[in-house]
């Protein structure tokens, strides 16, 4: 007889992963399909929405086939946030390629709205700032470029959504046009205090209530699957959740002060602030954390770093000095330190906490003795430096004690990098046995919504630690290296940074 499990879909930026998670929180199988990245112009990034759906069906098929003794009782979806799409309400046809969160095409719109003095009111309602990262300015760009789309939005015969909405629509056979609070809170159109779409913001960004999805808590009954390819029919869609909030939930960061950092293509750090909204004055974002059912909304402070692991990929793809991640770390470890070299990977500007959209990448401190190893070492170490910029501000602005930093993502497997982070943060770094925290978070939320798990306490008991890092004797030297990083950032921004 088959054992029960929860099916999790993690629709990320570079690919779609499907997991089957059993009652003990162990991943029994997974499937994966890569996504094509489309770059029609410099700094523009797009995805084919139909490919996202096809990749989802294929990844689910792989996961189910790899664990035939397990039967899913619910499905949870985590997704790349801020990526947006319009599709035909009648037949589900995408009306354009999805515009990805990394895309910078709406920079001029952000500048226009900022100069009009609109940013303070937008921040008050949404907790966000005017940046192309978020969905709203991209929708306004589409509306200005496509008169037909603008007319169809006015007529209400199209659907707007982030990728969670698109997948819920497809999973449900077109019967569910829904989203969750975490994804809605990243659109620039959602009031995070009232927990509702804001009519004035919808109008500002070319939208209206008729095209928007119904917003529910992350862990809710969002619909029921219709059998399609390998996707089973009749499953409750028990969770929709933005990937970073999913990872925070998967890491069991429930109490105020508990913090997670995901080191992937970018680096995203969330600190739980509980039911208290904390508005940052120094470049962090206020956002909604994942919630289940009718529980009170929960807030978080977030630092969004656009380029993290992608800095090492740049050394591979653009400089050709390493072949893969393993070679990069071997080369970085072949030198005792970066020998004064500082790598600032601002390829698409700087995110939190500095927000320099027009800043571009730089390498400082090169001498005649600099080697490839020093450059790669600096490219790896900048992940920890960027994270520390955020962690320092988080603790100062919240006044909360961060008992430890829980880490995940591909680069979290790098022991040397995690040790550097511990030296800088002055707190314990906790790495879990399973670093697929995003998929786990989606599974846990879906399981809670259907009674597969009881409560957050049970979820917390399932987390298993694989390694812990404490500050070492090298901490003082690491802080000196971090000081050089801050000098480089100050130079690029042409400003003096606040003390840490």
Domain segments of the chain as ranges: 3-243
- Look at 85 and 434; give whichever has higher pLDDT: 85
Q: Which of 18-27, 300-309, 310-319 has the lowest mean pLDDT?
A: 310-319
Q: What gap in Å lies between CA 166 and CA 81, rounded to an integer? A: 12
Q: What gap in Å lies between CA 66 and CA 68, rounded to an integer? A: 6
Count of residues for the chain?
Answer: 500
Percentage of the chain beyond pLDDT 90 is 73
Burial of 229 per CB tally in 10 Å (0-12, 13-18, 19+): exposed
Average pLDDT over residues 306-325: 81
Q: How far is CA 25 from the centre of its chain?
A: 22
Contact (Cβ atoms closer than 8 angstroms) between residue 295 and residue 217:
yes
pLDDT in tens, 227-272: 999 999 999 999 999 999 999 999 999 999 999 999 988 899 999 9
Q: Is the pLDDT of residue 498 over 70?
A: no
Pairing mode, if any, of strands 190-191 and 196-197?
Answer: antiparallel
pLDDT at site 500: 61
Closest CA to 175 of 119, 103, 225: 225
Q: Write out the E strands in 350-459.
A: 362-364, 404-408, 428-432
Question: Residue 436 — very low, low, confident or very high, per pLDDT cuts 50/70/90?
Answer: confident
**Arithmetic mean of pLDDT over the chain:** 92
Burial of 178 per CB tally in 10 Å (0-12, 13-18, 19+): buried
Pairing mode, if any, of strands 178-180 and 267-274?
Answer: unpaired
Average pLDDT over residues 160-189: 97
| One-character DSSP codes across 165-177 | HHHHHHHTTT---
Half-sphere exposure of 451 (CA within 13 A, CB side): 0
> Token pair of 368, please?
């005649």
Q: What gap in Å lies between CA 292 and CA 219, rounded to an integer? A: 4
Average pLDDT over residues 162-189: 97
pLDDT in tens, 360-409: 889 999 999 988 889 889 999 999 999 999 999 999 999 988 999 999 98
Domain spanning 3-243: CATH 3.60.15.10? no
Residue 163 belongs to what H/E stretch? helix 163-171
Q: How many CB atoms lie within 10 A of CB 17?
A: 22
Q: Which residues contact 476 (CB under 8 A, 6 or more apart)?
A: none
Residue 124 belongs to what H/E stretch? helix 119-126
């Amino acid at each position: 007889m088959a054992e029960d499990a929860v099916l999790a879909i993690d629709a990320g930026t570079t690919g779609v992963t499907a997991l089957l998670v059993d009652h003990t929180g162990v991943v029994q199988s997974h499937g994966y399909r890569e996504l094509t990245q489309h770059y029609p112009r410099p700094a523009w990034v797009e995805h084919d929405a139909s490919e996202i759906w096809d990749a989802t069906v294929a990844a689910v098929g792989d996961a189910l086939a790899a664990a035939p003794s397990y039967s899913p009782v619910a499905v949870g979806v985590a997704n790349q946030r801020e990526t947006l799409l319009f599709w035909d309400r009648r037949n589900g046809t995408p009306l354009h390629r999805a515009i990805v969160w990394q895309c910078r095409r709406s920079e001029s719109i952000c500048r226009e709205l900022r100069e009009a003095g609109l940013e303070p009111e937008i921040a008050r309602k949404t907790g966000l700032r005017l940046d192309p990262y978020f969905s709203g300015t991209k929708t306004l760009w589409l509306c200005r470029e496509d008169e037909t789309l603008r007319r169809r939005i006015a007529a209400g015969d199209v659907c707007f959504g982030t990728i969670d909405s698109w997948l819920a629509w497809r999973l449900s056979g077109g019967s569910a046009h829904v989203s969750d609070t975490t994804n809605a809170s990243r659109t620039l159109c959602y009031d995070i205090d009232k927990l509702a779409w804001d009519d004035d913001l919808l109008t500002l960004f070319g939208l209206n209530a008729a095209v928007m999805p119904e917003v529910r808590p992350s862990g809710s009954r969002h619909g029921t699957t219709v059998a399609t390819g390998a996707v089973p029919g009749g499953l409750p869609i028990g969770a929709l959740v933005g990937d970073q909030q999913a990872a925070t939930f998967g890491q069991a960061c429930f109490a105020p002060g508990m913090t997670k950092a995901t080191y992937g293509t970018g680096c995203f750090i969330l600190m739980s602030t509980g039911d208290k909204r904390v508005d940052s004055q120094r470049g962090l974002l206020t956002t909604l954390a994942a919630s289940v059912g009718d529980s009170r909304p929960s807030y978080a402070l977030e630092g969004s770093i656009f380029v993290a692991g992608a800095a090492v990929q740049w050394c591979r793809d653009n400089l050709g000095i390493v072949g893969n991640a393993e070679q990069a770390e071997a080369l970085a470890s072949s030198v005792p330190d970066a020998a004064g070299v500082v790598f600032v990977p601002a390829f698409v500007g700087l995110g939190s906490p500095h927000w320099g959209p027009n800043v571009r990448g730089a390498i400082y401190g090169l001498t005649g003795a600099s080697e490839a190893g020093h450059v790669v070492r600096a490219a790896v170490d900048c992940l920890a430096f960027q994270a520390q910029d955020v962690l320092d501000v988080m603790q100062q602005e919240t006044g909360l004690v961060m008992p430890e930093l829980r880490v995940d993502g591909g680069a979290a497997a790098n022991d040397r990098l995690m040790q550097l982070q511990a030296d800088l943060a002055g707190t314990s770094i906790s790495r879990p046995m399973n670093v697929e925290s995003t998929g786990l978070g989606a599974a846990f939320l879906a399981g809670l919504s259907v009674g597969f798990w009881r409560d957050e306490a049970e979820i917390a008991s399932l987390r298993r630690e694989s390694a812990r890092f404490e500050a070492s004797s090298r901490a003082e030297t690491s802080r000196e290296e971090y000081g050089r990083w801050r000098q480089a950032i100050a130079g690029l921004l042409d400003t003096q940074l606040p003390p840490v």
